[in-house]
Structure 1
Amino acid sequence: MSIGAVLAFLRDDFPEVTISKIRFLEAEGLVEPQRTPSGYRKFSPSDVERLAYVLRMQRDHYLPLRVIREHLDAIERGEAPPALPSAAETRRGPLEEADRELVASADASSGVRLGRAELLAAAEAGERELAEWESYGLVAPGPDGGYDGEALQVARLVAELGRYGLEPRHLRAMKAAADREIALVEQVVAPLRRHRNPQTRAHAEATARELAMLSVRLHAAMVQAGLRTCGQGLSRA
Structure 2
Amino acid sequence: MRQAPKGGAGSSGAAPSDGRPVSIGTVLTLLREEFPEVTISKIRFLEAEGLVEPERTPSGYRKFTAADVERLAGVLRMQRDHYLPLKVIREHLDALERGEQVQLPAQATAPRDLVPGMREPGEDRPATARVGREELLAAAGVDEAALADWESYGLVVPGADGSYDSEAVTVAKLVAELGRFGLEPRHLRAVKAAAEREAGLVEQVVAPLRRHRNPQTRTHAEATARELATLSVRLHAALVQSALRVRLQ
TM-score by length of 1: 0.61
> Over the residues paired in the alignment, what is the CA RMSD in angstroms?
3.6
2:171 pairs, out of 154, 159, 163, with 154
TM-aligned CA distance change 1:189 to 1:3, over 3 Å: farther
Q: Tell me which protein shows more helix as a share of its residues.
A: 1
Counterpart of 1:2 in structure 2 is 5
- Partner of 2:248, secondary structure, is helix
One-letter code aligned to 1:26: D
Distance 1:205 1:14, change over 3 A: farther
Are 1:27 and 1:112, in contact at CA under 8 Å, matched by a contact in 2? no
Equivalent residue of 2:162, what SS?
A: coil
Output aligned runs, 1:109-188, within 5 Å. 111-188=128-205
2:45 counterpart residue number: none
Partners in 2 of 1:28 and 1:6 — Cα distance? 15
Structure 2, unaligned stretches of length 5 or more? 17-28, 39-71, 119-125
Measure the CA separation in 1 of the matches of 2:240 and 2:198: 16
Contact 1:113/1:146 (8 A) holds in 2: yes
Contact 1:21 1:122 in 2 (8 A): no
Distance 1:3 1:215 in 2: 46
CA contact under 8 A between 1:123 and 1:156: conserved in structure 2? yes
Among all aligned residue pairs of Structure 1 and Structure 2, give the percentage whose two residues are the same amino acid.
55
Shift of 1:131: 0.4
CA distance in 2, matches of 1:24, 1:123: 12
Structure 2 length normalisation: TM-score? Answer: 0.58
Of 31, 38, 41, which residue of structure 2 is paired with 1:15?
31
CA distance in 1, matches of 2:221, 2:133: 32
- State how far apart, in whole Å, the 1-side matches of 2:82 and 2:140 are: 14
Tell me which residue corresponds to 1:204.
221
Change (3 A) 1:200 1:144: farther
Distance in 2 (CA, whole Å) between partners of 1:3 and 1:212 is: 43
Return the alpha-carbon distance in structure 2 between the equivalents of residues 118 and 140 of structure 1. Answer: 15
Amino acid at match of 1:39: H
Alpha-carbon contact 2:202-2:225 (below 8 Å) kept: yes
Residue-pair matches, total: 171
CA change 1:164–1:205 in 2 (3 A) is same
